[in-house]
Amino acid sequence: MSNVSYKDAGVDIDAGNDFVEAIKPAVKSTFDKNVIGGIGSFAGAYAVPGGYKEPVMLAATDGVGTKLKLAIESGRLDTVGIDLVAMCVNDLICNFGTPLFFLDYYATGRLKVEDAKAVVEGIANGCRQSECALIGGETAEMPGMYSEDDFDLAGFCVGIAEKSEMNRLERVRQNDLLIALPSSGIHSNGYSLVRKLLFERLGMKFDDRFEGKPLIETLLEPTRIYVKTFKSLKEKINALAHITGGGLVENLPRILPENLHAVIDSSKIKTLPIFDLIGKHVEKEEMFRTFNMGVGMVLVVSPKNADEVLKNSDGYIIGELKPGKKGVTLL
């Protein structure tokens, strides 16, 4: 009987080494002065920034969901890395944390260096947009666990906040205004419903024309990253909510005290065409519990600060806070 190698079992160590070399330029492009060491150590190292009286470390983790399936099936892998970063950093800033560094986990049945490189270059792109460093990651080749063409992603982001700034509930007041920051598209939630409806029920194809371009381009539009907007306006924001799975109706209550109710005029929401298409076949209540409906982030702002926030962002007012039980009403 001949000997068996790791490669015979489906794991190519040489491909893994080639991959590390291929991604070095993209990873290094995210480094800042606080990154200690380079690529290839057992752990990433990052110096804690100064200037904080009571620094608190925050962490967030997420994935891309079944949007990743569309990227794999269409062979368009250059943007899902942005989604991965966005889903983590957009959560982090809701606790007034400034993203510092990011790590990723890439698991696959067979490592295809060019595909994995495209994904990591997208992650690096997202990190640059978020002004955080990509200081490490893990690539796992697991034949038998995943099919050869399949892979999954997970992301991990660490940030820092001033302890005194973290409790946003005590800053939220009656008559505060709700300012919507537009989403870039579906972002990274609700894709199981999207795939079921558009491709199984309606029989649509990736190359079908939608709004002047292939449908798949709209579906894979990367999640918008709101870090720079947060940094520029944080002194004028009382609280903010990332509108992900659960939509407005389930995410807004997470930043409300027990005695305040969010009243939203749904006619003011600038709904994107893709949601108009989906909404022809899905009940309105289900739409608002599944999708962001064109609103990627909601800022809670005092009336006195509203003009400045509106002037220095692409936000617009969709409602306000009224006395009542914590929750959301869509008019």
In the chain, where the domains are located: 13-165, 169-330
Within 21-166, strands assigned E span 35-36, 45-46, 55-62, 98-108, 133-141, 151-162
Query: Which pLDDT tens digit goes with each residue over 219-264?
Result: 999 999 999 999 999 999 999 999 998 899 999 999 999 899 999 9
Query: Which pLDDT tens digit goes with each residue over 288-317?
Result: 999 999 999 999 999 999 999 999 999 999
Predicted local distance difference test score (pLDDT) of residue 8: 46
Determine the average pLDDT of the residues in 115-128. Answer: 93
Query: Which pLDDT tens digit goes with each residue over 18-57?
Result: 777 788 888 888 888 988 877 777 888 889 898 889 999 9
Predicted local distance difference test score (pLDDT) of residue 12: 61
Tokens representing 95 are 């606790």
pTM of structure: 0.92
The domain 13-165 is placed in CATH, from the list 3.40.50.620, 3.20.20.70, 3.30.1330.10, 3.40.50.11060, at 3.30.1330.10
CATH superfamily of 169-330: PurM-like C-terminal domain (3.90.650.10)
Coil vs helix vs strand at 148: coil
13-28 vs 113-130: helix crossing angle, rounded to 10: 20
- The set of residues, in sequence order, having a beta carbon less than 8 Å from that of 172 and lying 6+ positions away, is 238, 239, 255, 256, 257, 260, 300, 321
Q: How many other CB atoms are found less than 10 A from the CB of residue 200?
A: 9
Range 197-202, long-range pairs (CB < 8 A, 24+ positions): 197/278, 197/281, 197/282, 198/278, 201/281, 202/281
